[in-house]
Amino acid sequence: MSHSNQILYTAYLLRIGCWVTEAARTKANIGDSVREVEMLKSPRCIKTHLPLQMLPEQLWTVRPKIIYVARDAKDVAVSYYHHHRLFFGYAGSSEDFFEALLAEIVPYGSVWDHILDFWKLRHEPNVMFTTYEEMKKDLPGVVKQTADFLNCTLNSEEMKQLCDHLSFESMKNNPSVSHEIEVAKLRGMQTNINGEIQPFMRKGEVGSWKQDITPEIEKKINLYTKMKLADTDYVLPFTKENCTAKMK
């Protein structure tokens, strides 16, 4: 990470990026993403799900622009479950997967440790912290905030075009985002998974976890969240207004 003129977009998992093993990359003929990033010309836009401690040390000296997007832990749990079914052929129950997430034995580890590490950096001038919920609530507002953060100016027509392009329906129909070709190569024609396999761009809704998580699992995730957020100043639910009020 030697370029200062770059943007690092990061999140635990929002279902808008993908994580695959080296063997799976070979099978699907997907290139080495690290090497591909190194070859990009400046300015570079890099997307990652890596936790803070696994990012390059140069992050602290080069100080690229960092945009972090958090999401409700229960929505993350459901999205991550479908992600594993789609990309890795996970055939276990959703309850077992949620228990593994709570035990922090899934890739990327603890969802809350991941989020809180970047939350602590939110006042750094090169860091912008926002949430999936805020984007769904006020996409133009977040686009404006992001443009200001990146020192970009958008006129009204550019704002409209960008918001249309960034809508969930638009991304769902965009092959470069839906990863249909990569998914087909990774999964092949054979599968032992029971039930319907959801597409990569699945629902794009806030609170859709209510359709997939039992009251028992909901209670466990809520307790896990309460424990992780104890003695922190993280705001639940996070909104721009709540954050501003908390900072005063």
Which parts of 40-155 fold into alpha helices (H)? 59-62, 73-88, 94-102, 111-119, 132-137, 139-149
At the topology level, CATH places domain 6-247 in Rossmann fold (3.40.50)
Which parts of the chain fold into alpha helices (H)? 22-27, 33-39, 59-62, 73-88, 94-102, 111-119, 132-137, 139-149, 156-165, 168-172, 175-178, 180-187, 215-229, 240-247
pLDDT at 189: 44
- Its pTM surpasses 0.85: no
Catalytic one of 3, 49, 84, 179: 49
Which residues, at least 6 apart from 110, have a Cβ–Cβ distance to it below 8 Å? 104, 228
pLDDT at 90: 78
Q: What is the chain's pLDDT, residue by residue, as a tens digit (248 residues)?
A: 555 555 666 666 544 344 445 555 555 455 666 777 778 787 888 888 889 988 888 888 889 999 999 999 999 998 888 877 777 777 788 899 999 999 999 888 899 999 999 999 999 999 999 998 998 899 999 999 999 999 999 999 999 999 988 877 777 676 666 566 666 665 554 444 455 555 555 666 678 788 889 999 999 999 999 999 999 999 886 544 444 444 44
Q: What is the DSSP string of 84-105?
A: HHHHH---S-HHHHHHHHHTT-
Distance CA 20, CA 37 (A): 16
Each residue of 179-237: pLDDT tens digit? Answer: 666 666 655 544 444 555 555 556 666 787 888 899 999 999 999 999 999 999 998 86
| 49 is annotated as an active-site residue | yes
